[in-house]
């Protein structure tokens, strides 16, 4: 039986009726058409599905959508404002923080949380915080540089 859920996604308030088995990742991608958030492993191991819930990062594949009631969700689609890239998006472009790009939305959402939570003080701290976001292309050094650039 579906459950009513009211939430805000990228600044837009929504009232939804949700199957309790639906993950936030599937809600975003399949029901709301927000396909910027990627499905890598679907079991909490890769970070491709990272979004922000009330400003804190979550793995959307591990979070049931019914848990979003009253929450504010930000996805990669919600970062840019006024036709301008978010500073972290611009820094990833500037520093080549990606190759194939599949992990990039999750990397950027984690990177935003990294700075907001005060974990971007040293390279080691950044690497530790970002360790849940896997990049098969190995763009890690450039990602660290992008985060440092935004921090400073
Ligand atoms: Fe969620 Fe991999 S898809 S952590």
Report pLDDT digits (tens) over 28-69.
Answer: 999 999 999 999 999 999 999 999 999 999 999 999 999 999
CA gap 143, 108 in Å, rounded: 9
Homologous superfamily assigned to 87-151: [2Fe-2S]-binding domain (1.10.150.120)
Q: Retrieve residue 115's tokens.
A: 């700075």
pLDDT in tens, 82-136: 899 999 999 999 999 999 999 999 999 999 999 999 999 999 999 999 999 999 9
CATH code reported for the domain at 3-78 = 3.10.20.30
**CA 66: distance to chain centroid?**
19
- Closest residue by Cα to atom 4, ligand 1, is 44
Atom of ligand 1 nearest to the CA of 39: 3
Q: Where in the chain are the domains?
A: 3-78, 87-151
Q: Which of 61, 65, 103, 133 to mutate to test the pocket of ligand 1 (most atoms within 8 A of CB)?
A: 61
140-151 vs 87-94: helix crossing angle, rounded to 10: 130
53: enclosing H helix or E strand: strand 50-53
ipTM over 0.90: yes
Read off the pTM.
0.96
Report the DSSP beta bridge partners of residue 12. 9
């Amino acid at each position: 039986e579906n459950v009513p859920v009211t939430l805000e996604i990228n600044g837009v308030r929504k009232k939804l009726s949700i199957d309790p088995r639906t993950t936030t990742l599937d809600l975003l991608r399949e029901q709301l058409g927000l396909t910027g958030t990627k499905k890598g492993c679907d079991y909490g191991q890769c970070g491709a599905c990272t979004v922000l819930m009330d400003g804190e990062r979550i793995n959307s594949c591990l979070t049931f959508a019914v848990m979003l009631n009253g929450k504010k969700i930000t996805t990669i689609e919600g970062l840019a404002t006024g036709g301008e890239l978010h500073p972290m998006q611009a820094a990833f472009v500037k520093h080549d923080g990606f190759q194939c790009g599949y992990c990039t939305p999750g990397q950027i959402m984690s990177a935003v949380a990294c700075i907001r939570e005060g974990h971007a003080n040293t390279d080691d701290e950044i690497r530790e915080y970002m360790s849940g976001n896997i990049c098969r292309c190995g763009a890690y050094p450039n990602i660290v540089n992008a985060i440092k650039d935004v921090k400073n």
